[in-house]
Every structure is written in C-alpha cells, then in structure tokens.
A and B are shown apart, each in its own frame.
Chain A
Amino acid sequence: MKILVCIKRVPDMESKFKVDAGGTWYEKTDLAWRMNEYDEYAVEQAVQLKEQEEGADLTVLCIGGDQVKETMKKALAMGCDRGAHIADDNSSSKEPFEIAGIIAEYAKDKGFDLVFTGMQSQDRGSAQVGILVAELLDIPGISTIVDFVYSEGEVKVKRELEGGVKACVTVQAPLVVTCQLGLNTPRYPTLPNIMKAKKKELLSLPVEDLLKVDSRQETAKMYFPEKKGGGLILEGDAPELVDKLIQILKEKTAVLA
C-alpha cells in the first residue's frame, strides 16, 4: 500500500501579524511556525494506517521554501517513511488550484491508495485543496472526516456536520480524505524517532517541474479588518479589574442581582 500525506507549515495563529511590503500577504519574519493543525491529524491517521497495513509506504509532501523541511522532519519523526519537498519560495502567493495542481502532478502515476490532508489550512483557510486533488486525480474525495477505518480496500469514514451530527460514508480506495480536528490524538515524536527521522529520505523537487496549471485568482489586497466592536477594554492590575468588571456587570446586566 502507498500512502501520501500533504502538510503545510503555517504561523502560530496567536502571533502578531503584519501585512508585508507587497500588501498581499502577511509578513513572514518574526513569526513562530508550526505544522498546520489539521495536517497533524492527517499525519497521525496516515501513520496509523501504515502501522496497520504491513509493508505500507508513507510519503509526506510539503510545498515551500527550505524552512518547511523542519516541519517535514516532525512528520518523519511521527512515522512517515520519506519526504517529498516541493521547493517553492513563493508558495504563499499560490492559490488553492495551483497548490492542488502541484500535488496532483506529483501524485499521478505513483499509485497512492490513500491521500490524507487537513480539511483546511489555518492561514488561508480555503478548504479546497484536498477535494481539488481528488478531482484532478479523478478519484473520490471526502472532506471533514472525524473517523476513519480501512479494511481491505474499503474505507468507512464519518464526516463532521454542523451541530455535532456525523454522516457515515463508505467508499473504495483509492481516495483522498481531508481531516478535521479531533479525528485522533496526534502523537508526540519520541527522541529516538526524531533521531531516526534525520536519516530518512527527504528529496527536494523544483516546483517548476510540477506546476502545470494557471492561477484562477489573486489576492488584490491584504489588511486588518476595521475594528467595529465598540467594546470597552479594561487593563490594569487584576484586583482593580475585578472591581471594575463587577461594577459594569451591576450596571449593564441583571446577573448579579
């Protein structure tokens, strides 16, 4: 069995963001970076499947500059067998169809039985890439899964819908699934596995060889939303803040009555 998991390196969402000089993306310096949260669940599920299926081979793919190799090493330490780094210093300006095009171009003819990825990235958040990869490869794609069971070519998943309802779906491999938060509990790489990961194959491929589709949209402008909330901001020492808040609750609400 051949498995592919596609991951992205994103900034920590608690970071202080700035708009870059071009005005179309965020400034990438002075940010803390990590694996896209949704992709951590994808990596974990892919590793679990590899462990379940004897002889399975698991490739992790990531598009970006050299920095993304750090994130890929985490995926290798979690249990991926090899890395395919698509070297692209301009990946952040690529729209979802281009990203999907690159992944599908890499994956076609390689015979992957299962392709895992996150249901969206935390920064761009388009929720398109996984389904587009499935369409490009002409295989089924199922989004937003919170449960995954594989047995002899048949996959049973549960999709998460609004209000906590789940839809149960059965489908035959090959297919693409996009992973929702809570699908599993992503493992922490152990020190021995971190050491082992350093020896695993991590090949870089130039993006030019794989980008064969044209972009269909662009970012005209990036900016901070206008602050609309006329909310009051309280700052100071905790005891003083407590008194101020209680005063406000007494004046504005009936909850302390």
Chain B
Amino acid sequence: MKIILVAEYRDGKLLASFNELMDFADKMGGESAMFLVGDDNDLPKYSGTLYLADAGIYGEYNPDAHKQLILDLVEKEQADMVVFCHSSYGWDLAPRVAFALKAAQVSEVVEIVDGVPVVPVCNAKLRRDVQIKTKQSVVTLQAGAFGLPEEPAGTPTVQKVEADLVGRVEFTGYEQPESGGVDLGKARIVVSAGRGIGKPENVEMIANLAQALGGEYGASRPVVDSEWVEHNRQVGTTGQTVAPKLYVACGISGAIQHLAGMKKSEFIVAVNTDKDAPISEAADVLVVADLKEFVPLLTEKIQSL
C-alpha cells in the first residue's frame, strides 16, 4: 500500500492537520509520501519524502493546478491511495482527483476498522462501513478523528515538483472574520444556544444563564445563520474553538463541526430533549429536559446561591 498524504497551507502557513494525515498513514500501514503546495520556510515535521510545489507559483486555491500536481505524483509513486483532510481544501480537491483517477472517494472517514473505512451518516447519528470497489482510492479524514498523540519531530526529504500552470479560477485574496467582539476562547464558562432554543427571543435566557455563571454565551451555527446571535459568538469549525472550565450546550444536537469547537472543554453539560443527540457522546452530564423550563430555573437557583 502506497499512500499520498496531502497537507495544507493557508495564508502563508502550514496547517497543523498534517499530523492527522500521518496518524492515518501509521494506522493503515504501508509506505507514505507527503505532498504540499507550500513554502520551504514552513515544512511539516514528517520523516519521509515531501513533494513540495511552490505556493508562490501554484497559489493557495487553484484546484486545476493542484489536481494536476497530485495526479503527476500518483503516477510517479504508483500510489494506491490519496488522503486529504475533510476540510474546505480537501473536500474541494478530493473529488477532482478521484474523478481523474476513476477512483472511489470515501468522505469524512472517522476510523479504519480492519482496513475498512467508517464514515458518519445523518449528522453522526449512524455510521457506515464502506466497501471500495476500485483499485485506487481517495479518502478525506474527519477533522480531529485522527492525530498523533505527540507532536512529530521528523525532517522531510524535500523534492520540488512542478506542473503546467493551468487554472480556470482566479483566487483574489482572503477576507478575515470581523475582528473585535467576544473572545470566547478566554471565557472560563461558555453557555451556548442551539437550534433547540426555538426562537430568537430565547437567546436572552441563555445569555442570562451565562451571566449568572460569570461566563459568556455562544451559539451553534444554525442560530448564527438565522441571525439570532452574531457570528463572533459562534462555536465550532467555522467559528471559535473553546476549552472552558464549563461548557453548557443548550438545545444543541452536536453536529461534528460544533463538537470540534468545544469537545476539549473541561466539563460539558448538555440540555436536550433528545437522549440520542450526538452531543450526549461529548457530554459529562446530559440533562434530558425542555430547556425553556430548565434554563430559567437553573439561572434563578444559581443567582440565589
């Protein structure tokens, strides 16, 4: 088994997720090589061959060119599998590579059991074992599902790679999230509102509990998309990552993207009417209750302590 690991680079920096790719390669066994469109000055700590294309030439988002560089490498290495992170870079590029290779693509792999990739279904309520029918395959890894226990310390053997510069899309720059606002990452306690709060008026209830606890309030993505809470309070992959002493998830089902942003909290309480909600997996305590009744009572009691 020969595996190509596709590392990521953004805004002039290598992303730490290369370590998840390395853990996956260790678990699969066999040989691996890493590929990166990046820069000499920021290399992954990977003990193996790193095929490096210059981000100054091939850009940080140029799927046509990145695809061609990877295809050349698959051919050269006679690779059996190409591995990406299931990220905005990976899920955009992986299907293009799979298509060109006439290979199956398995998305968002959470684990490998006896060589079989396992993926989530229906917001992680269910799982599927996937049987690949093609000789070569492409997989994307769920963020955080893999990862070496310790920071790797290797030095790669760098081989520069080039390809014809093709590209039908023009990347014109990044737009940073609005700065300022609330730094939830610094809060000792975060109380978050999910879709289960039902209506925008109930945000206040969550904010009150946060205040009673001396913390900040946050929200899951659907609540932010509905504009009930501003984006700078969003917890999850596309918002902030938090690790407070106490995280209270109110009416949050626990989509993977949300869990990735809060699962390192020291103590997690979930308030939900659905005992099977994926948040229950992450929670130290699951309170099965209607939050509209429970949260105000809890707030009142805490205020009276």
Contacting chain B: which of A48-56, A67-75, A80-88, A135-143? A135-143
Q: Is the CB of B133 within 8 A of A215?
A: yes
B108 (CB) vs chain A CBs: closest residue: A125
Choose among B129, B189, B267, B284 the residue that contacts A221 (Cβ–Cβ < 8 A): B129
Contacting chain B: which of A1-9, A190-198, A204-212, A239-247? A239-247
Chain A residues whose C-beta falls within 8 Å of the C-beta of B170 in the assembled complex: 169-171
Q: Which of B206-253 contact A (CB under 8 A)?
A: 213-214, 221-222, 224-225, 231, 234, 237-239, 245-246, 253
Q: Is the CB of A143 within 8 A of B128?
A: no
Choose among A14, A24, A128 the residue that contacts B105 (Cβ–Cβ < 8 A): A128
B61 (CB) vs chain A CBs: closest residue: A167
A182 in contact (CB, < 8 A): yes
Shortest Cβ gap from A186 to chain B (Å): 10
The answer to whether residues A168 and B245 also contact, given A17-B125, A143-B92, A222-B128 and a CB cut-off of 8 A, is: no
Choose among B102, B108, B176 the residue that contacts A165 (Cβ–Cβ < 8 A): B176
Chain A interface, DSSP helix/strand/loop, else mixed: mixed
Instruction: Name the 4 nearest CB pairs between A and B, nearest first.
Output: A164-B177, A216-B104, A217-B104, A131-B95
Size of the A side of the interface (Cβ < 8 Å), in residues, is 79
Q: Is the CB of A144 within 8 A of B88?
A: yes
Contact flags (1/0) for A93-136 with B, using CB distance below 8 Å? Answer: 00111000000000000000000000110111111100110011
The answer to whether residues A217 and B132 also contact, given A13-B125, A143-B92, A162-B88 and a CB cut-off of 8 A, is: yes
Q: Is the CB of A19 within 8 A of B116?
A: no
Chain B interface, DSSP helix/strand/loop, else mixed: mixed
Shortest Cβ gap from A10 to chain B (Å): 8
B126 in contact (CB, < 8 A): yes
Q: Is the CB of A223 within 8 A of B127?
A: yes
Shortest Cβ gap from A210 to chain B (Å): 18
Q: Is the CB of B305 within 8 A of A256?
A: yes
B75 in contact (CB, < 8 A): no
Shortest Cβ gap from B135 to chain A (Å): 10
Q: Is the CB of B128 within 8 A of A219?
A: yes
The answer to whether residues A219 and B131 also contact, given A124-B121, A242-B301, A256-B305 and a CB cut-off of 8 A, is: yes
Choose among A97, A165, A171 the residue that contacts B174 (Cβ–Cβ < 8 A): A165
